[in-house]
C-alpha cells in the first residue's frame, strides 16, 4: 500500500557576502563565488588555499596527542618482526583503513604477510567495534598478536582492550568517533583520536582512515630515524586513494577540513589514473571521468554492501587485489551483494515509511522504528532515507542476529541535531537502558533490550524536542537559488567541476528554475523519467530519478504544467559527444 509522502520545501541558502566578493576577486564565476560563500569553509585563511589545499600543507601527524608514542611502538614492532593485528570497522571507512594499514605495512615497511593478522567484526553476528566476540577471536588466534592497531573504532571499547592488555597485547586505538564521557580507553597503549581533549591536531573532521594513514606516516619517519628505511624511502601518498574513498563515504566534512579536501582531491586523481587493479576494475563500469560523487554514491555503496551483508573482507580483498583478474572477480562478487542490498533496502524502507507516517501523525519530533524481522545490515541506510523523507532525526532498529532479546539500531540526524549528544542524554537519564552505543554528530549506533524499545523511543523523543525546540520540521531541499537558463551550458558545468571535491558540507550545488514541462517519458523500471523543459525559451533535458515510489503511482505533474524544478547540472557523454544534462531532485507545479 502506497502512502502519501510530505512535499519537501525548497529553500535558498544564505551566503557570506564577504566571501562572495573574495571569490569574485579571485576570478571565480559570480555564481561559483556564491556557491562557495554558502558553505562553511575556513574563513581565517586565503580562499584559494581553503578551496585548493596542497598535500604539503597537511597537518603534521605528530601534532596529534599520543602520536610520538604510538609511532615509536609500531616502528619497534616492525623492526622486531612482531605479529601485528589489524582490527577495523566493517563499513567503508573501516575497510579503507584496513587497506591503508596493510598496504603500508607490507609494501612500504616490508613487514611479512604472515606477521599480520586481520580482524573485522561481522556486522550481523558480532556487532560494531572491538566487540566481545572479536576480542575473543583475537585471543583464541593461534598466531599470537603482540600489537593490535584498531581503526575507525576502539574509543568506546575499554572492557575488551583491558582483556587484551591483560593477555599481553598492546592496543593502539586509532579512531575519529567522539570520546565517551568517561574518557579514552585507559588500558590502551595509546589512543589516537583528534576529538579528544588537549589534542594538538586541530582538525576533528578527519575520517578514521586518515587517522590510520597519519599513524603510518609518523611510523615511516621513526623507521627512517632508526635506519630501517632509507632517507629517500617513498612517501605514503600512494595510499591516499584509499583515504579519499573512506573520507567521502563516511560523510565527514569536506568544507571545514583542509586535510580532507587535499587528500580527497589527490586521491581522486590516483583513482582516475587507474593506479591499482581495483580502480581499473571500477573504471570498466563507466567511461565517464571519476569525481567525488562517484566515491560517495558508486564506490562507497559498493564496498559497504559487503560489510552490510557479509564479513567486509571481500571489499578489503578487492581494494588490495594484486592483479586485474583478481580485482574483477571481487568486483563481480561485490556487485551481487550490492544488488541484494538494494532489494532488501527497498523492502525495509517501504515498511519503515508506514511506521514513520503513523508517528508523524502523533506530532513527534523524532522517529523510532523497530522492525523485528528486518535486516540489521541496512537499517543505517533505511534510517538515512526516512530521515530525508520526513526531515526528522530517525532511529531504525532490528533484532540482533544470534540473540532473542537484543536489538541494534542506527541513528541519523538532521541539521541542528547532534546524534551522539542525544543518545548520551538518553544514557544519562536511563543509566541501565543502553547496552552499548557510540557515534558522532550526524550518526550513531546502539544496542538495547527489545523490551526497552518503547522506553528508548520516548527518551529519544525527549532529547530531540530539547535540541530542536519548536522548529518546524519537514523535508527541505536547500538550493543556491535561481540561475538564468542561458547560463546552463557545458562551460558552466566545467566551472562547477573546478570546485571539486564535493562532499558533506560542501555538497554539489542544487539550483532552481521555473519552466514549462514539454515532455515526460518513463524510463528504466518506471520510477524514473526523462523530461524536457522550456525555460525562458531555452530547452533543457534531464532525468528525474525516483520521481515516484512505484511504477504504478500517479505522477505529480503532467505535460504542459508550469513547474518549479530543483536540479543539479551534469555533463553527459554518449558516443563521444558531451551534452548538458540536468538531474532533477524535485519538481512541483509552480504557484
- Domain check: are 150 and 246 in the same one? yes
Report DSSP letters for 229-250, one per residue.
S-TT---SGGGHHHHHHHHHHT
116 is written with which cell numbers?
A: 599480520
Q: Is residue 87 part of a domain?
A: yes
- Domain check: are 460 and 568 in the same one? no
Last residue of a domain, one of 411, 441, 468: 468
CATH number of domain containing 76: 3.90.1640.30
What's the pLDDT at 242? 98
List, in sequence order, the alpha helices (H) in 12-62. 17-25, 30-37, 47-51
What's the pLDDT at 174? 98
Tell me the mean pLDDT per 10 residues along the chain, length 591.
81 94 92 95 89 96 98 98 96 96 98 97 82 95 96 95 98 94 95 95 96 98 98 98 96 95 98 97 90 92 84 92 98 93 88 93 95 85 93 94 88 94 96 90 91 97 94 94 91 93 95 95 90 93 86 84 95 82 93 66
Q: Is residue 583 part of a domain?
A: yes
386 is written with which cell numbers?
A: 526516512
In 491-576, beta strands by DSSP E = 511-523, 528-535, 538-544, 562-574
138 is written with which cell numbers?
A: 583475537
Q: Is 341 helix (H, G, I), strand (E, B) or coil?
A: helix
547 touches 521 (CB < 8 A): no
Q: How many domains does the chain have?
A: 3
Residue 441 has phi, psi (to 5 degrees) of -60, -45
- pLDDT by residue (tens digit) across 539-583? 999 999 988 877 777 888 999 999 999 999 998 877 778 889 999
Which candidate, 159, 196, 203, places its Cα nearest to that of 180? 196
Q: Is 381 helix (H, G, I), strand (E, B) or coil?
A: helix
β-pairing, 562-574 with 577-589? antiparallel
Which candidate, 420, 408, 316, places its Cα nearest to that of 90? 316
What's the pLDDT at 583? 94
Q: From CA 303, how far away is CA 104, in angstroms rounded?
A: 20
Q: Is residue 290 part of a domain?
A: no
Last residue of a domain, one of 248, 268, 288: 268
- Domain check: are 539 and 507 in the same one? yes
- Domain check: are 485 and 455 in the same one? no
- Domain check: are 203 and 221 in the same one? yes
Q: Is residue 516 part of a domain?
A: yes
Q: Is residue 295 part of a domain?
A: no
- HSE-CB of 336 using CA atoms within 13 angstroms: 8
Q: From CA 472, how far away is CA 365, in angstroms rounded?
A: 9
What's the pLDDT at 1? 54
- Domain check: are 401 and 523 in the same one? no
Query: Alpha carbon 436 to chain centroid distance?
Result: 22
What's the pLDDT at 170? 98
- Domain check: are 374 and 447 in the same one? yes
Give the chain's length: 591
- pLDDT by residue (tens digit) across 29-84? 899 999 999 999 888 899 999 999 999 999 999 999 999 999 999 999 999 999 99
Q: Is residue 301 part of a domain?
A: no
- Domain check: are 485 and 452 in the same one? no
Q: From CA 224, how far away is CA 234, in angstroms rounded?
A: 11
pTM of the predicted model as reported, rounded to 2 decimal places: 0.93
Euclidean distance between the first and the last CA atom of the chain, given in angstroms as a whole number: 30
- Domain check: are 429 and 499 in the same one? no
CATH number of domain containing 567: 2.40.50.460
**CA distances, 263 to each of 173, 182, 208, 298 (Å):** 22, 32, 13, 19
Report DSSP letters for 270-283, one per residue.
HHHTT-SHHHHHHG
Last residue of a domain, one of 268, 296, 330: 268
Q: From CA 468, how far away is CA 442, in angstroms rounded?
A: 14
Question: What range does the domain containing 160 cover?
Answer: 55-268
Q: Is residue 408 part of a domain?
A: yes
β-pairing, 538-544 with 190-192? unpaired
- Domain check: are 77 and 191 in the same one? yes
- Domain check: are 91 and 176 in the same one? yes
439 touches 426 (CB < 8 A): no
What's the pLDDT at 312? 82
- Domain check: are 490 and 450 in the same one? no
23 is written with which cell numbers?
A: 571569490
Q: Is residue 321 part of a domain?
A: no
Amino acid at each position: 500500500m502506497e502512502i502519501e509522502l510530505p512535499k519537501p520545501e525548497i529553500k535558498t541558502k544564505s551566503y557570506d557576502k564577504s566571501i562572495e566578493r573574495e571569490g569574485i576577486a579571485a576570478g571565480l564565476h559570480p555564481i561559483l563565488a556564491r556557491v562557495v560563500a554558502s558553505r562553511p569553509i575556513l574563513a581565517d585563511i586565503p580562499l584559494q588555499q581553503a578551496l585548493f589545499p596542497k598535500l604539503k600543507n597537511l597537518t603534521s601527524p605528530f601534532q596529534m596527542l599520543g602520536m610520538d608514542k604510538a609511532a615509536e611502538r609500531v616502528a619497534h614492532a616492525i623492526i622486531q618482526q612482531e605479529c601485528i593485528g589489524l582490527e577495523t570497522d566493517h563499513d567503508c571507512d573501516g575497510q579503507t583503513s584496513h587497506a591503508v594499514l596493510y598496504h603500508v605495512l607490507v609494501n612500504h615497511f616490508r613487514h611479512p604477510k604472515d606477521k599480520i593478522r586481520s580482524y573485522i567484526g561481522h556486522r550481523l553476528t558480532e556487532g560494531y567495534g572491538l566487540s566481545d566476540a572479536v576480542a575473543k577471536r583475537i585471543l583464541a588466534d593461534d598466531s599470537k598478536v603482540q600489537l593490535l592497531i584498531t581503526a575507525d573504532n576502539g574509543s568506546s571499547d575499554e572492557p575488551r582492550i583491558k582483556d587484551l592488555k591483560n593477555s599481553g597485547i598492546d592496543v593502539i586505538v586509532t579512531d575519529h568517533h567522539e570520546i565517551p564521557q568517561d574518557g579514552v580507553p585507559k588500558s590502551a597503549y595509546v589512543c589516537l583520536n583528534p576529538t579528544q581533549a588537549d589534542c594538538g591536531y586541530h582538525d576533528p573532521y578527519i575520517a578514521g582512515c586518515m587517522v590510520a594513514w597519519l599513524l603510518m606516516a609518523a611510523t615511516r619517519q621513526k623507521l627512517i630515524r632508526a635506519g630501517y628505511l632509507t632517507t629517500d624511502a617513498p612517501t605514503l601518498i600512494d595510499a591516499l586513494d584509499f583515504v579519499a574513498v573512506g573520507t567521502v563515504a563516511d560523510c565527514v566534512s569536506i568544507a571545514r577540513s583542509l586535510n580532507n579536501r587535499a587528500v580527497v582531491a589527490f586521491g581522486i586523481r590516483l583513482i582516475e589514473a587507474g593506479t591499482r587493479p581495483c580502480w581499473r576494475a571500477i573504471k570498466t563500469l563507466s567511461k565517464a571521468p571519476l569525481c567525488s560523487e562517484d566515491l560517495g554514491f558508486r564506490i562507497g555503496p559498493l564496498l559497504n554492501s559487503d560489510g552490510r551483508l557479509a564479513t567486509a573482507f571481500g571489499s578489503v580483498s578487492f581494494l588490495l587485489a594484486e592483479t586485474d583478474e583478481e580485482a574483477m572477480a571481487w568486483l563481480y562478487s561485490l556487485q551481487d551483494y550490492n544488488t541484494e542490498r538494494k532489494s532488501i533496502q527497498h523492502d525495509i524502507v517501504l515498511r519503515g515509511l508506514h511506521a514513520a507516517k503513523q508517528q508523524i501523525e502523533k506530532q513527534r519530533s523524532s522517529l523510532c522504528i523497530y522492525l523485528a524481522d528486518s535486516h540489521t545490515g541496512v537499517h543505517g541506510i533505511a534510517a538515512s532515507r526516512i530521515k530525508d523523507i520526513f526531515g526528522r532525526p530517525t532511529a531504525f532498529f532490528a533484532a540482533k542476529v544470534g540473540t532473542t532479546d537484543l536489538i541494534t539500531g542506527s541513528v541519523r540526524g538532521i541539521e541542528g541535531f547532534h546524534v551522539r549528544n542525544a543518545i548520551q542524554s538518553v544514557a544519562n537519564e536511563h543509566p541501565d537502558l543502553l547496552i552499548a552505543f557510540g557515534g558522532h554528530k550526524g550518526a550513531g549506533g546502539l544496542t538495547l533490550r527489545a523490551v526497552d524499545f518503547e522506553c528508548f523511543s520516548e527518551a529519544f523523543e525527549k532529547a530531540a524536542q530539547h535540541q530542536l525546540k519548536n522548529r518546524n520540521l519537514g523535508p527541505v531541499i536547500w538550493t543556491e537559488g535561481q540561475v538564468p537558463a542561458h547560463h546552463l551550458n557545458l562551460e558552466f558545468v566545467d566551472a562547477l567541476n573546478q570546485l571539486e571535491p564535493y562532499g558533506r558540507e560542501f555538497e554539489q550545488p542544487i539550483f532552481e528554475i521555473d519552466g514549462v514541462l514539454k515532455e515526460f517519458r518513463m524510463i528504466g523500471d518506471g520510477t524514473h523519467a526523462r523530461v524536457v523543459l522550456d525555460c525562458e525559451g531555452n530547452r533543457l533535458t534531464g532525468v528525474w530519478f525516483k520521481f515516484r515510489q512505484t511504477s504504478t503511482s500517479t505522477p505529480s505533474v503532467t505535460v504542459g504544467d508550469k513547474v518549479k524544478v530543483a536540479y543539479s547540472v551534469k555533463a553527459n557523454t554518449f558516443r563521444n559527444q558531451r551534452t548538458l544534462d540536468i538531474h532533477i531532485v524535485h519538481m512541483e507545479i509552480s504557484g
